[in-house]
Amino acid sequence: MTVFVIPTSTTIPAYRQRVTLDGVTFNLRFRFNGRIGSWLVDFFKEDDTPIVYGRRCVIDWPMFRQHHHLEDSPEGQISVFDTTHRKIDPAIDDFGSRVLMLYFDAETIAELRAAP
């Protein structure tokens, strides 16, 4: 079982992050929307071809749950986790401290689905 912590930042309200998931490189664009008080993430292929725009970072909700059928989406699953277990979505300064973005690789997802 492999769980990878995707590096995040709270020093600026908008930034890009390159990450390799299951051997495939993706570009992520993070931005905090003060109007709704939420972090949003856009997912791109390595060449910046868009996959999904504006996924809201919600605690314990798989980010690709409704987009997993897309050909270019990650094989595993990305989820936002509250380390305090209070299930509070990330505020502008919570990523990397109270809140982590986790990637469960494809093998881990298959094991979890096969478990009795």
End-to-end Cα, the chain, rounded Å = 16
Q: What is the pLDDT of residue 65?
A: 62
pLDDT along the chain (116 residues), means of 10: 86 92 94 95 95 93 69 84 96 92 88 78
Q: What's the gap between Cα 8 and its chain centre? A: 10
Dist CA 72 CA 45 (whole Å): 7
Q: Which long-range contacts (CB under 8 A, 24 or more apart) does 62-66 make?
A: none
Both tokens assigned to 23: 């051997």
Instruction: State residue 91's pLDDT score.
Output: 93
* pLDDT (0 to 100) of residue 70: 62
Instruction: Determine how β-strand 77-82 pairs with β-strand 38-45.
Output: unpaired
Total-model pTM: 0.86
- 38-45 and 99-104 as β-strands: parallel, antiparallel, unpaired? unpaired
- Backbone φ, ψ for residue 35 (5° rounding): -65, -40
Pairing of strands 3-6, 77-82: unpaired
